Amino acid sequence: MHNKVENIEKLFQESIKVKTQVIDSGIVKSLVSMGLLSTKAIQEGGKLILCGNGGSAADAQHLAAEMLIRLRPNNNREGIPAIALAQDTSTITACGNDFGYDHLFERLVKTLGHEGDVLIAITTSGNSKNIIAAMRAAKKIGILVFGFLGSKGGEALRYCDEAFVVPSNNTGRIQESHITAGHALMELIEDELLDSGYINLQK
């Protein structure tokens, strides 16, 4: 029992250490840039597009839902346009069967994305083929590309207009920092849109 408790405490300490490294590195400044650019894009008629694989797909859906529905209970406001690309099993399996999963997000970005949108691409390795293909497609359309990455950023870093790179090689610790960063980014966007009067609180 004692060893199990120690192991869990160690996990929490590792997570705290990675987040402290994120703060000390100054990389959180990238979240401010992402937030301000995303706000401008939304005010000009654009939307947020989010994608990731596995746990990162869940993070993408989580953050999109908080924009579409509600992020903070005290801010009962209008919806903010956002879409997660890995939420429709029929589309996912059709693309996997007909064209291969490497083309899933690329095809959806080409079909649903428009110039002026923002793509938030989440990949802990920075080397997921389907994410990189989506990022390349977004750049060609004129969509801003933001990366939530890990380790040293991988190949995905080449396609980012802004990147939040977690200094870790541990997938779990990277994902924990990604969702914290995602919440911070969404709160910043919400605050900016409310302060500007673009969206309003509802009674």
User: Structural domain tally of the chain?
Assistant: 1
> What pLDDT does residue 87 have?
84
Q: Does 104 reside within a domain?
A: yes
CA separation for the pair 14, 86 (Å, rounded): 29
pLDDT tens across the length of the chain (203 residues): 768 999 999 999 999 999 999 999 999 999 999 999 999 999 999 999 999 999 999 999 999 999 999 999 999 999 999 999 998 999 999 999 999 999 999 999 999 999 999 999 999 999 999 999 999 999 999 999 999 999 999 999 999 999 999 999 999 999 999 999 999 999 999 999 999 999 999 87
Which ranges of the chain does DSSP label H, i.e. alpha helix?
2-25, 29-43, 55-68, 89-98, 104-112, 129-141, 171-196
* Rounded-to-integer distance, Cα 37 and Cα 135, Å: 17
Which SS3 state, helix, strand or coil, does residue 199 take? coil
**Cβ pair 53, 123 in contact under 8 A:** yes
| pTM (two decimals) | 0.96
Range of the domain at 123: 2-196
Is residue 201 domain-resident? no
Q: CATH no. for residue 177?
A: 3.40.50.10490
Q: Can you tell me whether residue 152 is helix, strand or coil?
A: coil
User: Is 90 within the bounds of a domain?
Assistant: yes
Q: Per the domain annotation, does 30 fall within a domain? A: yes
Residue 202 lies in a domain: no
Q: Report DSSP state, residue 88.
A: -
Q: For the chain, how long is the longest CA-to-CA vector?
A: 56
75 domain residue, yes or no: yes
Handedness of CA 181, 185, 187, 188 (dihedral sign): positive
